[in-house]
Structure 1
Amino acid sequence: MPYFYIDPYYIILVIPAILLSLLAQVRVKTTFHKYSQVGNYRGLTGAQAASRILQDNGITNVAVERVGGNLTDHFDPKAMVIRLSDSVYNSSSIAAVGVAAHEAGHAVQHAVGYAPIRIRNAIVPVVNFGSALSWPLVLFGILFSYSFLINIGIILFCATLVFQIITLPVEFNASSRAMAILGSSGMLSDQELKGARSVLTAAAMTYVAAVIVSIAHLLRLLLLTRGRRGD
C-alpha cells in the first residue's frame, strides 16, 4: 500500500496564507472593475493624469507609455518610463486615474530620493539571485545532509522576504502621494477620491498578503529543517 507524506506545516501555515493572497487578488480585480465603470468628472485619462503629476512635480525625464495586459502598470526606474496598461492608459475611469497617479507617485519617489525605494532598487539583483536559488539549495542540503547549503538557502530566502517588506512602505507611500496630489490638484472630486482610494487600498493588500505568504513559507522551512542545520 503506497505511503503518502502529509506536511502539517504546509497545511497549517502555507495554505491559509495562500488563500488570503488569493482573496486579496480577487478583491483588487473586483474593486478595479467596479470603479473602471465610473468615469471621472473631468474626463482625464490615466495617461493625462500621470503626465500632469510629472509636470506639476517638475519631472521632465520620465515618459508615459502604453503596455499590454491588464493591471500590468508599473514605473521602470531604469528606463525612466511609467507604463500604463490597456485598461488605464486611455481610460477616463476613476480606477484608471487612481492607478496612473500611483505609478506617477513612484516616479516622484525616485525623483526626490525616497529612501525605501532606493534601498529596494539596490537589492533587486540580490533578490533575483536569491529567489532562484534558495529552495534548490535547501532541498539539496536536506537530501544530502549538507547543513551549510540549508543555511545559505534560508539566508537567500530571507533576502527575498526583506525585499517584500521594504516594498510595503514604497507602495503605501506612493498611494498616499497619489491621493494627496489628486485631491489638492482637483483632478478628482471628493467622492471620486473615495473610489480611487478603494482601488489603491485593495492593490496594497496584495503586497501585504505576499509578505504573509513568504513568512509562512519561511516558518515552514525553519520547522522542516530544524535539527538538520546543526549537523
Structure 2
Amino acid sequence: MPRQQERARRTRAAIVEAAAVEFSKRGYSAASINAILEHSNATKGAMYFHFTSKEELARAVLDEGLERYRAIVDRWQDVPGLDPFERLHGLIGDLAHSLHNDVIVAAEFKLVSEPEFAAESRVRGSTVWGRGGYHLAQEAQQLGLFRPGVDLRRFVEAVASSLAGQRYLADLTSPEEDVGRRFEACLEVPLEAMASQEWLERWRERGWPPRPDFSDTPQPVNAPE
C-alpha cells in the first residue's frame, strides 16, 4: 500500500476509535467533534475528508462494531471438543469482555440504544449474535441437550433480553463494571429451566470448560481511556 494511502487509513482508524470513546462515554447527541479531534490528533480537514458529518462518523463506528460482533460469533460456531451450550457460554463471555474492553463494541451498544439509531437495532450487533446463538441452540436440540418441547426462540429471546437488561443496569449503576458474571447468569438460569436433566447433571459436576486458545485468531480490542 502506498505511504499516503496507509497514512490516510491510519488517520481514519484513529478518528473512528476516538469517536467510539466519545460516543461510549457521552452518547451521540452530547459527543463533541472537538474532543474526537483532540483524542485522534487529526485535523478538522482530515476528519471531513473521511466523514461528512457526525452521523456518518457514528455509522462508521456502528459498522466496525458489527464486524467485531461477527468475528465473535464466527469464532464460536465450530470449536472442537465443546458442545453447543459450552460454545454459547464462550460466545457470551466474549461479548461481555468486548463490552468492557473494546470501545468500538461498547460504542455500538450505546449508539443503538439512542433515538437516532434505535430503528437500526434489528440489523446491528445484537441481531448478529442472536442468530449465532439460535444456530447453536438448534444444534443443541438436535443433540438432545434440551428438554422435550422446548421452544428455541423463547430460549434465545430469554437469554438476549436478560443480557440487554444486565448491560443497561450496569450502565446505570456501575458503568466500569465487567459484566462477565452477570452475563454468565443470563445463560445459566434459562439452561437450568430448559436443558435436559442429563446435560445439567454433567454441567453441575464439571462446570464450564476452560476457554480454548484462540491465539491464532485476530481479536482487535481497544481498551477505553
Same fold (TM over 0.5): no
Asked which structure has the greater RCO (Cα within 8 Å, sep 6+), the reply is 1
Q: How high is the TM-score relative to the length of structure 2?
A: 0.29
Higher strand share: 1
Instruction: State the TM-score, normalizing by the size of structure 1.
Output: 0.28
